[in-house]
């Protein structure tokens, strides 16, 4: 393979730049040319393709976001959009494409694979919601950002004897909520994978108050409930003074953690090697700590659960 390309797609995640850098540097080291595609599949359909060099990825390993920009494209989900994207890739002599993004982005990659383009996906999303891998790029940074915020919220919650509802990201997955709930000592954690019981939440608040604890943190994954609604319900049904904080896109930005940079560097380099070996239609991942190529079909069909043991542990030690 002489020429490959890389793009980022879907929601950005800290560490994507480190992955781009590893792709570009590994490809050049291996004697290949690399093109960068701007704005994901949308940019690909519009021919936003540019050559990348060793210098074009200098000084980015520590930067959040993605220097290639990203987008969510509805047009690319159509057969016409996919055919156009394949045509643009062929017009540049690009034989292999590396896609850094979530499982929606991998579905797009799968479509291009069927059109004869070799593709390898790299899991990059703060949600950590991709089956078949230990971690997605960006998750570690996002939970550290959220923890930093929760620690600060706890300070003021304690000073004012207040109950705080903190909404974190996670459209379909409770991983962020579970991890920051445990690490932040939250009294309750609401995740989309488990039924939400406001009775349980209120019972915990009452139990805490009965032993003199007047402040609490309730972490809510956005996919489980809206923080504002949880806050309103608690205000209306309890005597506690409630405030709500929605952390939002703060969780998507910032310098990637060391773990995310290391994971991104490993996966970026591995993805290039997979293309060189003639692999296609696969996700480059670490599974049980080992670099592994997982078929997109397996990614799409494997059911995924968060680590429920974390939930049980948090329940036990937040009494």
Query: What residue ranges bind ligand F6P (CB under 6 A)?
Result: 10-11, 125-127, 169-171, 222, 252
Task: Quote the least distance from Cβ 136 to ligand F6P, whole Å.
Answer: 10
Tell me the C-alpha distance between 114 and 282, whole Å: 13
Compute how many other C-beta atoms are within 10 angstroms of the C-beta atom of residue 199: 8
Which letter, b or e, does each residue of 200-213 get, where b requires 16 or more Cβ atoms within 10 Å of its Cβ? ebbebbeebbeeee
| List 12, 103, 127, 129, catalytic entry | 127
SS (H, E, C) 60-74: CCCCCCCCCCCCCCC
Phi, psi for residue 269 in degrees, rounded to 5: -70, -40
Q: Are 242 and 261 in contact (CB under 8 A)?
A: no
| Residue 127 falls in the annotated catalytic set | yes
205 or 220: CB nearest ligand F6P: 220
Task: Quote the least distance from Cβ 206 to ligand F6P, whole Å.
Answer: 31
Q: Which two tokens stand for residue 238?
A: 């309890």
24 or 169: CB nearest ligand F6P: 169
Task: Quote the least distance from Cβ 143 to ligand F6P, whole Å.
Answer: 12
25 or 42: CB nearest ligand F6P: 42
11 or 81: CB nearest ligand F6P: 11
Q: Which residue has the tokens 């590994």?
A: 26
Q: Which residue is nearest to ligand F6P (CB)?
A: 11
Task: Quote the least distance from Cβ 54 to ligand F6P, whole Å.
Answer: 29
The residues that are catalytic are: 127
């Amino acid at each position: 393979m002489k020429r490959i390309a890389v793009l980022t797609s879907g929601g950005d995640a800290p560490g994507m730049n480190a992955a781009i850098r590893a792709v570009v540097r590994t490809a050049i080291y291996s004697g290949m040319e690399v093109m960068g595609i701007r704005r994901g599949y949308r940019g690909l359909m519009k021919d936003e393709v540019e050559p990348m060099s060793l210098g074009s990825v200098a000084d980015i390993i520590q930067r959040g976001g993605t220097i290639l920009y990203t987008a969510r494209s509805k047009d690319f989900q159509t057969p016409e959009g996919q055919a156009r994207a394949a045509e643009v890739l062929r017009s540049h002599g690009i034989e292999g494409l590396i896609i850094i993004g979530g499982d929606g982005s991998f579905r797009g990659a799968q479509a291009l694979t069927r059109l004869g383009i070799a593709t390898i996906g790299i899991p990059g999303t703060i949600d950590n919601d991709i089956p078949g891998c230990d971690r997605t790029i960006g998750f570690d940074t996002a939970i550290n950002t959220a923890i930093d915020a929760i620690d600060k919220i706890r300070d003021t919650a304690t000073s004012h004897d207040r109950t705080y509802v903190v909404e974190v990201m996670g459209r379909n997955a409770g991983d962020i909520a579970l991890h920051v709930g445990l690490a932040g000592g939250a009294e309750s954690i609401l995740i989309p994978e488990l039924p939400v019981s406001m009775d349980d939440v209120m019972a915990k608040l009452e139990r805490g108050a009965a032993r003199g604890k007047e402040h609490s943190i309730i972490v809510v994954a956005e996919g489980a409930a809206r923080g504002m609604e949880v806050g309103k319900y608690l205000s209306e049904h309890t005597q506690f003074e409630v405030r709500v904080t929605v952390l939002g896109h703060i969780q998507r930005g910032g310098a990637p953690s060391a773990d995310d940079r290391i994971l991104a560097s490993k996966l970026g380099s591995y993805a290039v090697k997979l293309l060189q070996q003639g692999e296609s239609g696969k996700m480059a991942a670490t599974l049980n700590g080992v670099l592994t190529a997982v078929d997109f079909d397996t990614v799409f069909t494997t059911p995924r659960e968060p680590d429920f043991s974390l939930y049980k542990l948090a329940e036990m030690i937040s009494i």
